[in-house]
Structure 1
Amino acid sequence: MTPFDSREFRRALGAFPTGVTVITTCDAGGKPYGVTANSFSSVSLDPPLILWSQSTTSSSYPAFRDCDRFVVNILADHQVHVSNQFAKSGADKFREVPVTAGLGGVPVIDDCAAHLECVKVAAYPGGDHVVYLGQVEKIFRSGHHSLAFGDGKYLRTYAHDLGEVGSQTGAAGLDSLKAQRMALAALPDICERIGQRTVGIAVWGNQGATIIGWEPSTHPVSPYLQAGVVVSLTQSATGIAFAAFMPPGQTQAAIDEELQARVRSGQPDTGQFAQRVAETLHHGLARAVGAAASPRHQVKVNAFSAPVYDASGNMVLAISTTCEAERLAPDWDGPVPAALREAARELSLRLGYPAGASLLAG
């Protein structure tokens, strides 16, 4: 056997993302117990059996060892705080967590993605853990998306293969709301792929190119990241991406208004915008190089932005990354813009954009 330590083993296991559950029970006196666990799996459909495992050093181990029933609460993606609370020891884990009494009085956590009420049928030793086998007697499934966990962090789940979804929405392809949800769910992975740099999503709104979400990374570009910000169409990488890749009929009036405002302020554009659009069309993504400190972030930043298309070839959103200039080289063909362009391409394909079509024109 090749030797490895527990840290290496844990890292290897982290390559297998799982859902997140809180297992609840109560003792003979009715005192509730709960513990966060991702060691949950289905076993059998007939009879309906599931299993989960618990460390024998857990403070709640005696309660689960002696209980007759337990509930598997499968957490929804808005319940990170619930997972964190039940992962701690010694605290009042049920504080401010709404529950309902289930079969046998076992607490069922409200607003989960699903829950399974079980009778314990067996327990098996497994090293420093014990494996519990439960028969499911009652189930519930809500419409919430499930919370996931992998590589030591919480994750959002989204469909890898959309199948026939795009064709079900008509000629316009997948609607904008679904595209936004998919892109927002992918942000943590995109942030990781581009080297832990701040990444955001923007859509075309009533006022122009509008940021709807950020993934700030482990080194946020600044504390001033906000959703709802309308960005410049002529100066920002995100805005230039929309100016270049959306049909002119949708953007030209806003572009003209911004250029005219620059003239009125004594800072007329002298051809830089047209050059930026031409470069953007050539490279398949937009770029903004910070010559001075950003008024919003108060540091000098560089940025790139790549378009995402739907099944009909319409640009539905932009993925953008912005970072301190010293951490993000302005090279068009650097690893960060290449990874951002690839992430946008993959999202476009998930939205039904034809695999063989060029992504350089909207």
Structure 2
Amino acid sequence: MDAFDHREFRRTLGAFTTGVTVVTTVDAAGKPYGVTANSFSSVSLDPPLILWSQALTSSSYPAFRDCERFVVNILADHQVHVSNQFAKSGDDKFQGIPIQTGLGGVPVIDDSAAHLECRKVAAYPGGDHVVYIGQVERIHRSAHRPLAFGEGRYMVTFAHDLGEARGAPGNAGMAALEAVRMAGAALAETCERIGQRTLGLAVWGNQGATIVRWEPSSQPVSPYLQTGVVVSLTQSATGLAFAAFMRPSVVDDAVRHELRLREAEGHPDEGQFALRLAEAREHGMARAVGCAPSPRHKVMVNAFSVPVFDAQGDMVLALSTTCQAERLAPDWDGEVPRILRATAQRLSARLGYRGE
């Protein structure tokens, strides 16, 4: 049997993404206790049984060991602060947390995704943990999306199956919504894979190529990021992606208008735009290299942008990264553009795009 240490074991277990719960109870004196746990699972439908496990070293272990009842509060995706608060040691875990009183006086956390009020029916030793079995006696499910946890960080959940939206003729609007939803779910992982460089989503709006979301990064390109910004079709990587890959009937008039405005301002094109467009189509992505400091970012940047296509082959969004020039190599075949291209291809395939 291969040897492995505790850290490697914990990291491997992190590949299994779970929900996040706070399990609550009261002791014989009526004092409330709560602990964050993702070791929750269903056991049986008839009778309705669930389980969760707790470390023997937990300060609340005696209370759960001796309790008759507990509540499993399944947290919603806006309750990260609740998870963090109950994950810490201390006597004031319930401070500022809205609760109700459940069966047996056990606290129920308000506004969670769901909760299950249970009677403890068994407890089994499990190494340095104890496994509790609870029989569910009352349940509640809200409309909130559940919080998720995996790879050592909080996540949000989205449905994987696109159902009838995939490939449905004349359903471009639905495809665009699905693309934004799926791409949004992939942003955090992609941002980490490209080295915490600023990552954004853009769609074609009524004013042109529009940034609709930025992924928070530990090393943002600048503190001046905004959504709703309409970007240049001829100068920005995001705009070039739309100019290169969106249907000409949609984008060409806007491109010609922008080129005329730039010429009137003393910046004639002289063929540079056509060259950058050809490069983008050759490489399957757009690039802007060594861009002068903009009034918004105030730093020299490099940027790449990749298109995402629907089942009909229409571009529905751009996935873009922009970064200080010294932190992002301009090479077409660098690691960052390769990751972006692979992510866009995966998203396009999930929308039913089969490529050329």
TM-score by length of 2: 0.92
Output one character per residue of 1:92-143: Cα deviation in whole Å (capped at 9) or x when no partner: 2223322222222322222222222211111112222211111112222233
Q: Which residue matches 1:27?
A: 27
Question: What residue is the counterpart of 2:82 in the other structure?
Answer: 82
Do residues 60 (structure 1) and 88 (structure 2) align? no
Q: Identity rate of aligned residues, in percent?
A: 73
Instruction: Give how far 1:302 is off.
Output: 0.9
Contact 1:54 1:131 in 2 (8 A): yes
| Counterpart position of 2:304 | 304
CA–CA separation in structure 2 for the residues paired with 1:100 and 1:253: 59
1:16-51 deviations in Å (ceiling 9; x for gaps):
221111112222333322111111111112211111
Q: Is the 8 A contact 1:158 1:186 kept in 2?
A: no
Q: Deviations over 1:327-351 (max 9, x none)?
A: 2111112221111111011111112
User: What is the DSSP-based 3-state SS (H/G/I as helix, E as strand, rest coil) of the residue aligned with 2:210?
Assistant: strand
Change (3 A) 1:335 1:264: same
Deviations 1:144-190 (CA, angstroms, capped at 9, x unpaired):
32221111111222334434442578643734333212211110111
Aligned to 1:332, the other structure's residue is in SS state coil
Secondary structure of 1:174 counterpart: helix
Letter in 2 for 1:193: R
CA distance in 2, matches of 1:25, 1:169: 53
State the distance in 2 between where 1:80 and 1:204 align. 33
Gaps of 5+ in 1: none
TM-score by length of 1: 0.91
Aligned to 1:243: 243
Query: Alignment partner of 1:290: what SS?
Result: strand
Aligned partner letter, 1:271: G
Please tell me whether residue 190 in structure 1 is matched to residue 190 in structure 2.
yes
- Output the CA distance in 2 between the equivalents of 1:200 and 1:136: 43
| 1:190 match: secondary structure | helix
Shift of 1:304: 0.6
2:347 corresponds to which letter in structure 1? L
Task: Tell whether 2:345 aligns with 1:349.
Answer: no
Residue equivalent to 2:320: 320
Q: Which moved more, 1:58-67 or 1:89-98?
A: 89-98
How do residues 200-279 of structure 1 correspond to structure 2 at under 5 angstroms?
200-279=200-279
Paired AA for residue 117 in structure 2:
E
Q: Could you tell me which residue of structure 2 aligns to residue 117 of structure 1? A: 117
Give unpaired runs (5+ residues) of structure 2. Answer: none
Q: 1:144 aligns to what?
A: 144
More divergent stretch after superposition (243-252 vs 197-206): 243-252
Quote the Cα distance in structure 2 between the aligned partners of 1:308 and 1:132: 46
Per-residue deviation, 1:263: 2.2
- 1:42 alignment counterpart: 42
RMSD of aligned residue pairs (Cα, Å):
2.1
State the distance in 2 between where 1:79 and 1:176 align: 29
Amino acid at match of 1:57: T
Q: CA–CA distance in 2 between the matches of 1:236 and 1:158?
A: 30
Q: CA offsets, 1:224-279, max 9 Å, x none? A: 22222221111111111111111223223332332232223222222222221121
Match of 2:10 in 1: 10
1:283-338 deviation digits (Å, cap 9, x = unpaired): 11110102433432222211111111122222111111112222211111222111
Aligned to 2:329, the other structure's residue is in SS state coil
Q: 1:6 is aligned with what amino acid?
A: H
1:214 deviation in Å? Answer: 1.5
Match of 1:281 in 2: 281
Counterparts of 2:168 and 2:72 in 1: how far apart (Å)? 34
Amino acid at match of 1:180: V
Q: Which amino acid aligns with 1:22?
A: V
Q: In the alignment, residue 27 of structure 1 is paired with which amino acid?
A: D
Q: Which residue of 2 aligns with 1:73?
A: 73
The 8 Å contact of residues 165 and 171 in structure 2, kept in 1 or not, is answered as no
Aligned-partner Cα distance in 2 for 1:85–1:145: 20
Q: What's the secondary structure of 1:112's corresponding residue?
A: coil
How far apart are 1:53 and its partner, in Å? 0.9
- What corresponds to 1:329 in structure 2? 329
Tell me if structure 2 keeps the 8 A contact 1:156–1:186: no
